[in-house]
Every structure is written in C-alpha cells, then in structure tokens.
Structure 1
C-alpha cells in the first residue's frame, strides 16, 4: 500500500491544481488548445508524456482490490488511453475538448474531483 499512498500524494495535488486551473482560467486553456491544433510536435510530446505516465503508474501499481486505491489503477489506465488517443487520433481530442469555453470548464471538473479523492487517500 505504500506505493499507492505515494502515487496518490503526487497525482492528487497535480490533478486538483489542474482542475482548478481549468475552471478558473478556461480562456487560457482554450488558447493553449487552439495553438496546439497547429503544432503536431506538441501533440507528440503531450501524447508521449501521457503514455509514459500511464505506463509508469500501471507498472508500479495495477491492483483491483475493490477499495479506494483502485482509483490509482484507473488513473494509470486513463493516462495510458489518453496518451494513445493523442498519438493516434489528435483531431478527435481537439474536437471533443474545444467545442466551447463551457466544455473546457466541464473538463476541469473531472480532474478536480479526482484530485480531491486522491488527496483524501494520500493525506
């Protein structure tokens, strides 16, 4: 369980801060997504980093023990799937996340709630 606590302590605040940023600075997130659209190298880097993080989490902790710690395994799979989606279907990601500023706000709620749950587990 020690590795699960450590992963929750790292990714909990990360997702919490990311979710808050997306909620309060959605206009900046929209600008970033707009500039990413025209730069394929950014998609490659972003997808590779997500893939690497997902593989790291799944390598360190991939347990399905039906407790709150299963959130860490789910997080690893989400990063892995997101990395693959960004690498192989970048335009689909842009289309789904850039429809409007309100959709960016909604996309910020998920990491916020997930970050709160992981902080609760880790601390």
Structure 2
C-alpha cells in the first residue's frame, strides 16, 4: 500500500498540472503538439522516456485490485505500451496525433480524463 500512496502522490500532481494546462493553454498546447508531431526524433525520445516511466511503474505496482490502485497500474501499462508504440512506430504516431488534433474536442476529453484520474490519485495519495 505504501508504494500505491507514493505513486499516487507522484503521478497525481503531474496529471493535474497537465490537465489544467490543457484547459488554460488549449490552443498553445495544440500548436505545441503539432510541432512535436513534426519531429520523429522527439517522438522517439519521448517514447524512451514514457516507456521507461511506465516500466518502472509496472515493475513496482502491477496491482489489479478493484479499487483506486488499479488507476496507477493502468497508467503504468498505458505508458509502457504507448512508449513502446512511439519507439517502434513513430510515423504512425504522427498520423494518429494529427487525426486527434483535427478534432476540436480531443484536448478537452483528454484534459477531463487526466483531471478525474489526478483528483482520485491526489485524494488517496494525500488525504485518505
């Protein structure tokens, strides 16, 4: 349980900051994402960083309990898989990313998802 609390305290504020940034700086975030997608080296490098973070989470917290801790496990697995995908298929990442950015509501949905996960993790990491 101590690992779950630590990871909730670590991941929660990062997701909260990212979610708030999506709402406050939406158009700037969209422009930055487009620039990012035009750089295969950045996609590849981010894949290495995200995969490493995801693997660290999964190796330390592969908990499939039906409670709040599963959010940490899911974040870890999504980072691991998403990072590997960026490393292996960076050209596809560009195509998928462009399709997502062409939908005006995509950043809002992403921000809401990040916000909900962040609030749950912050609650259980700091207050429960």
TM-score (norm 2): 0.88
- Tell me the equivalent position of 1:34: 34
| Alignment partners' CA distance in 2, 1:114 and 1:80 | 18
| 3-state DSSP of counterpart to 1:104 | helix
Give the direction of change, closer, same or farther, for the CA distance of 1:93–1:49 in structure 2 (3 Å limit). Answer: farther
- Match for residue 69 of structure 1? 69
The aligned counterpart of 2:14 is 14
The answer (yes or no) to whether the contact 2:34–2:98 under 8 Å persists in 1 is no
Q: Which residue of 1 aligns with 2:97?
A: 94
Kindly state the Cα deviation for residue 108 of structure 1 after the two structures are TM-superposed: 1.3
Q: 1:79: Cα distance to partner?
A: 0.9
CA distance in 1, matches of 2:68, 2:111: 21
- List gaps (5 residues or longer) in structure 1: none
- Measured on the aligned residues, the alpha-carbon RMSD in Å equals 1.4
Q: Distance in 1 between matches of 2:50 and 2:100?
A: 16
Distance, in Å, in 1 between the alignment partners of 2:24 and 2:85 is: 26
- State how far apart, in whole Å, the 2-side matches of 1:12 and 1:96 are: 28
Which consecutive aligned stretches of 4+ in structure 1 deviate over 3 angstroms post-superposition?
none
Deviation digits for residues 33-86 of structure 1 (CA, Å, limit 9, x no counterpart): 111122111101111111011100001110112221111111101111221232
Structure 2: 5+ residue runs without aligned partners? Answer: none
- 3-state SS of the aligned residue for 2:105? helix
The partner residue of 2:119 within 113, 116, 121 is 116
Q: Specify the SS of the correspondent of 1:13.
A: helix
Aligned pair in 2 of structure 1 residues 65, 37: CA closer, same or farther (>3 Å)?
closer
Aligned residues: 123
Stretch of structure 1 that moved more, 107-116 or 89-98: 89-98
